[in-house]
Amino acid sequence: MCEAWEPYFIYHTEHIMARQHGGSDALENLAFACNHCNALKGPNLTSVDPDTDKVTALFHARADVWDTHFRIEDGQIRGLTAIGRTTVFLLQMNTPQRIELRMENADEERR
């Protein structure tokens, strides 16, 4: 889905669970990620929920449902759950440039 909102980024095939944590190259462990998100995620499987300061799992592209954890409002991706908030926080999903690109893309889709 990310590629539709941010069409100008280069995308990578990323390991959901990094090889250093025992992750494999099997399709079930791979996901399409923009270079920015992939670099910020690194080998992390968790981060800190900015609302609770608790260590929380990141969104798992093969096990979790996007709409359960995220909503887009005015170009911003909102975390609806601890997993969503933590992922938005770690991946810096709402930088001004990313919001602007999402808003431009939404405008184009409405035309």
Q: Write out pLDDT tens, residues 52-86.
A: 999 999 999 889 999 999 999 999 999 999 999 99
Cα 52 to Cα 49, 82, 87, distances in angstroms = 6, 8, 14
Count of domains for the chain: 1
- Predicted TM-score (pTM) of the model is 0.83
Reported as a pLDDT band with limits 50, 70 and 90, residue 32 is confident
What is the spatial distance between Cα 38 and Cα 36, in angstroms, rounded to a whole number?
6
pLDDT at 9: 66
Domain that holds residue 80: 2-110
